[in-house]
Chains A and B, each alone.
Chain A
Amino acid sequence: MFLRKIATVVALTTLASSAWAGCGASDGRVSIVGNEFPAIQTVGAGAMECAGGGVTVEKNLTADHQKINVPGMQGNPAEFTTAIVANSSIVALMNNDVIRPLDDLVAKHGQGLQKSQLITVDGNIMGVAFMANAQHLVFRADILDQLGIAPPTTYEEMLVAAANIRASGLMDHPVGGAYAAGWNLAEEFVNMYIGHGGEFFKPGSAEIAVNNQHGEDALHMMRALSDYMNPDYLTHDSNATSAEWKAGNVALMNMWGSRVGPLKSDEVDPTVANNTDIAGPMTVGGGSTPASTLWWDGFTVSKNISDADAEATFMAMMHAIRPEMLNDETSPLAVWLIDGYQPTDAAKGVFAAAAMGTTPYPMLPYAGLMHSAAGKELVDFMQGKETASQALADLEAAYTTAAKEKGYL
């Protein structure tokens, strides 16, 4: 358990004793890079079972995966033969042209896959998705019951509920949020902006367009929520927000579906764990589109490796996501897109998100630049140092400069 918590786990197994030796491949090198949350750990462990015979399997699952996956796939031969990515991070791999089309491998070894799992670009299969994820409401049922508040369905209701909880004296900072400056804060802005009905770019171009009423409304809502958060909220990422939740300091938050499982684990105070409940994402500003984004996680295969390694990699990953891997332990870890998956209670938030028509995170070559510009330019507004429109103007200017440098404008 301790080892699993270490951010980077690099393991190398060459023992031929594995029951699955090779998973059908006779030889080849498999090297996985990906994120570190429990569902991905399960997939990584599944692929490790294939080590044996002439097949070697390595994995490097870390929160910093997006910093190392492109450099690790640009060499020839590439260090990583597969990267586990999401809809935002596959873009960086496609931008740098380091992943290969999988049509032949899917035709040969992908019989168990459902069509919806295939990520295609102009008909070419570039990735295989195995799970879906979204941020949605997480609430403390006992606190809300005690005060007779229904779980909020809009952010406006969330503010009222938070004011009630604070007034009751039960909690000083009842709202949680991963608002850490950088990626997390930008992600919350993306959610809130979409919830207000905003479009990030002028149609068909890389020209940014967020300095508008939707953007200002989104920022003002984020500021209003932050009044109910721990004063250190600009340093809280998903891990720190989860810790606040486990400590029983928070009653309402917008959190990743894949992170709810650990909040209900045995290690957590039973009052918190047993009363942690989830619901669909919230809407905002009278809109009908939830202020959230839909995500998939899936695997890709490197371009700069031999066909034999690519085949072994594909077969190992297919083994990791085969229908038989679903059991009582693994099913609640994620919303699996794998055939035969029976939704558990932990999945209802993400399912609600999909049913409500939540927008997928934009798969645009330049979306990442907008995201990183937002992460550093919106903090001044959150701290009350400048107006919303000034912050948005700074965001647009910082993005435009970076996009020009990258050759998108």
Chain B
Amino acid sequence: MKHKTFFWFFLPTALAMLLFIALPLTSVVSQSFHAPHEEVLLVSEICDPFGCATESTIDHQATEQLKKDKPLGQWVGFEIYTDRNHLAFKEVAEFWQTRSSFTGFISSLNNLQFYRAMGFTLTYVIVVTPLVILFGLIIALAVNSLHRHLKGLMVFFSLLPMIVTPLVGSLILFWMIDARGIVGSGLQEIFSDPNLSLKASTGLTWVTLIVYGVWHSAPFAFIVFYAGLQTVPKETLESAMIDGATRFQQVIHVVVPHLSPLVAFVALIQLMDNFRVFEPIVGFSASAHATSLSWIIWNDIGQEIRLFSSAATTSVLTIIGVVILLLPVLIRTWREFNPEK
């Protein structure tokens, strides 16, 4: 393709990327280095139906000019990154110096919202990602071995969990696992423990969220692997059969190596998605037991007083986290496609 043709061909995409990816990112990064100007507080007399009281209010006139001159707020550098609600360098150092044991140090980290969220997020990523790949592969192999008349129907049903909007899917499950819901009361019956509740204990809530995560994402892995299965070379499979390989051996030695680029692709997408786990936490009202970085961002900007700088900082930290997680996979892919380097 000529350079000029390529340029015109690519221009709309480039513009869209600039507008919807690069610009918002720049804005988020610059917001994270700024904090609102200091507010000047006034003592005012506020009267309402219950009487009058002197309360503090904000003096807008005092900072009007300042806000007009510097609408972004004041430059604070990395102050928000290191404060207690984010990386909390000072607190972590303090916990480390006063630790009685390593487990004591870890449990005191749990008091800091960033590390509390990271604890759940990383567990979720580490458990859900391999399970999604495993289940995706199993479902794909199972569907692929069905009679061709059944395949279309099964593909459709297997995709359903992914078609349901995450928030709606988690809300439906939330009501089913309620102590008075069908799954919740069923479990109480099975374990004959009337106080058993999936929502009341941190461990069980994590299990619920992880099961939901696998349920929701496995269809994605399934459909990718299913497509890949259609391209497995028949000759290799047949020669493996002639060599006396069992079905399991065929899968391990022929199918899986053939699908390995797809495994890398699914792992990449899943690591990224799972690190940003959010909807199930809201849907399951699980914030008492499990939070994630995305949930913290949502919480910061969903309150009566919104903390934009804090949310921006957590967003940047999320992006950094995703990059760190993806680095091994990215390096591997790079090597695969550039073997000579």
Contact B310 A405 (CB under 8 A): yes
Q: How far is the CA of A91 from the CA of B48 in the complex (A)?
A: 13
Within 8 A of B (CB), among A334-382: 337, 354, 360, 362-366, 368-369, 371-372, 376, 379-380, 382
A116 within 8 A of B: yes
* A405 and B48 within 8 A (CB): no
Compute how far the CA of A408 lies from the CA of B58 in the bound complex, rounded to whole angstroms: 9
- Complex CA gap A289/B66 in Å reads 43
How many chain B residues have a CB neighbour from A under 8 Å? 54
Is B221 among interface residues, defined by CB-CB distance under 8 A?
Answer: no
**Distance from B108 Cβ to chain A, minimum over Cβ atoms (Å):** 9
Instruction: Please indicate which of the listed interface residues A92, A118, A407 has the most CB atoms of chain B within 10 Å of its own CB.
Output: A407
* Residues of A close to B45: CB separation below 8 A: 120-123
Q: Is B309 an interface residue (CB 8 A)?
A: yes
The answer, yes or no, to whether B218 is at the interface (CB within 8 Å) is no
Complex Cα distance, B41 from A406, in Å, reads 12
Q: Does A172 contact B (CB under 8 A)?
A: yes
**Minimum Cβ distance to chain A for residue B339 (Å):** 49
How far is A89 from B303 in the complex, measured between Cα atoms in Å? 10
Known: A368-B305, A397-B84. A360 touches B48 (CB 8 A): yes
A405 touches B35 (CB 8 A): yes
User: What string of 1s and 0s marks CB contacts (under 8 Å) between B303-341 and chain A?
Assistant: 111110110000000000000000000000000000000
Contact in complex: B83, A379 (CB < 8 Å): no
- With an 8 Å Cβ cutoff, the count of chain A residues facing the other chain is 69
Q: Flag if A121 contacts B57 (CB, 8 Å).
A: yes
Q: Tell me the bound Cα distance from A398 to B85 in angstroms.
A: 6
A12 touches B (CB below 8 Å): no
Closest Cβ of chain B: how far from A377's Cβ, in Å?
8
Give A117 to B49 CA distance when docked, in angstroms. 6
| Interface assignment of B239: CB less than 8 Å from any CB of chain A | no
Contact flag A119-B47 (CB < 8 Å), given A364-B55, A402-B85: yes
Please give, as numbers and ranges, the residues of chain A lying within 8 Å of B307 by CB-CB distance. 402, 405-406
Chain B residues near A231: list those with CB within 8 A: 179, 195, 197, 199-200
Question: Given A70-B306, A235-B288, are A172 and B48 also a contact pair (CB < 8 Å)?
Answer: no
A51 close to chain B: CB less than 8 A:
no
Interface string of A121-133 (1 = CB under 8 A from B): 1110000010010
A324 within 8 A of B: no
Instruction: Identify which of B111, B286, B299 gathers the most chain A CB atoms within 10 Å of its CB.
Output: B111
Contacts of A366 in B (CB 8 A): 56, 305
A232 engages B50 (CB within 8 Å): no
Whether B287 contacts A376 by the Cβ 8 Å rule is yes
In whole angstroms, how far apart are the Cα atoms of A296 and B307 in the complex? 26
For the complex, is A394 an interface residue (Cβ under 8 Å from B)? Answer: yes
User: Which residue, of A180, A376, A385, has the highest number of chain B Cβ atoms within 10 A?
Assistant: A376
Q: Which residues of A contact B305 (CB under 8 A)?
A: 92, 95, 366, 368-369, 372, 406
Q: Cβ of B113 and Cβ of A120 under 8 Å apart? A: no
Give Cα distance in the complex from A369 to B299, angstroms.
12
Residue B202 CB within 8 A of the other chain = yes
Inter-subunit contact B38/A232 (CB<8 Å): no
Complex Cα distance, B259 from A97, in Å, reads 58
Q: Is B151 an interface residue (CB 8 A)?
A: no
List the A residue with the shortest CB-CB distance to B302. Answer: A67
| B46 interface residue per 8 A CB criterion | yes
Q: How far, in Å, is B178 (CB) from chain A's closest CB?
A: 7
Q: How far is the CB of B150 from chain A (nearest CB, A)?
A: 39
Contacts of A363 in B (CB 8 A): 46, 48, 53, 55
Is the C-beta of A182 less than 8 angstroms from some C-beta in chain B? yes
Q: How far is the CA of A67 from the CA of B180 in the complex (A)?
A: 31
Q: Does B37 contact A (CB under 8 A)?
A: yes
**Docked-complex contact B179 and A230, CB < 8 angstroms:** yes
Do the beta carbons of A402 and B310 come within 8 Å of each other?
Answer: yes
Q: Cα distance A380–B289 when bound, in Å?
A: 8
Assess whether A398 is in contact with B304, with CB atoms less than 8 Å apart.
no
Which residues of A have CB within 8 Å of B304?
66, 88-89, 91-92, 368, 371-372
Query: Quick check: is A204 within 8 A (CB to CB) of the other chain?
Result: yes
Provide the bound-state CA to CA distance between A231 and B80, in Å: 37
A183 to chain B: which residues have CB within 8 Å?
303
Per the bound structure, the CA–CA distance linking A182 and B254 in Å amounts to: 52
B311 to chain A, nearest CB (A): 11
Is A383 close to B, CB under 8 A? yes
Tell me, in angstroms, the Cα distance from A268 to B304 when the chains sit together: 33
**Interface presence of B43 (CB below 8 A):** yes
Q: Which single residue of chain A is at the shortest CB-CB distance from B73?
A: A407
Q: Is the CB of A406 within 8 A of B39?
A: yes
Tell whether B60 is near chain A: CB-to-CB under 8 Å.
Answer: yes
Decide if A232 touches B58 in the complex (CB within 8 Å). Answer: no
Determine the residue in chain A with the shortest Cβ distance to B60: A97
Using A390-B111, A407-B38 as known contacts, say yes or no to A129 and B49 having CB atoms under 8 A apart: yes
Does A234 count as interface, using CB distance less than 8 angstroms? yes
**In contact, B43 and A204 (Cβ under 8 angstroms):** yes
Is B260 interfacial (CB-CB < 8 Å)? no
What sequence of 0s and 1s flags, for each residue 191-221 of chain A, a beta carbon within 8 Å of any chain B beta carbon? 0000000000000101000000000000000
Closest B-chain residue to A71, C-beta based?
B306
User: Does chain B have a CB within 8 A of A108?
Assistant: no
Q: Is A95 touching B56 in the complex (CB atoms < 8 A)?
A: no
Task: Tell me, yes or no, whether B250 is within 8 Å of chain A by CB.
Answer: no
Contact partners of A376 in chain B: CB under 8 A = 113, 287, 291, 299
List the 8 closest pairs (A to B, CB-CB), nearest first.
A181-B288, A368-B304, A235-B285, A231-B200, A368-B305, A407-B38, A234-B288, A231-B197
What are 18 A-B residue pairs whose CB atoms fall within 8 Å in the complex?
A119-B48, A120-B46, A129-B49, A232-B200, A233-B200, A234-B285, A235-B288, A337-B49, A362-B55, A364-B56, A371-B303, A372-B304, A376-B291, A379-B287, A383-B288, A394-B111, A405-B310, A406-B305
Q: Which A residues contact B (CB, under 8 angstroms)?
A: 66-67, 70, 87-89, 91-92, 94-95, 97, 116-123, 129, 132, 172, 180-183, 204, 206, 230-235, 237, 247, 294, 296, 337, 354, 360, 362-366, 368-369, 371-372, 376, 379-380, 382-383, 385-386, 390, 394, 397-398, 400-402, 404-408
Give 4 A-B pairs besides A365-B39, A379-B287 with Cβ atoms closer than 8 angstroms: A120-B46, A172-B194, A364-B55, A366-B56
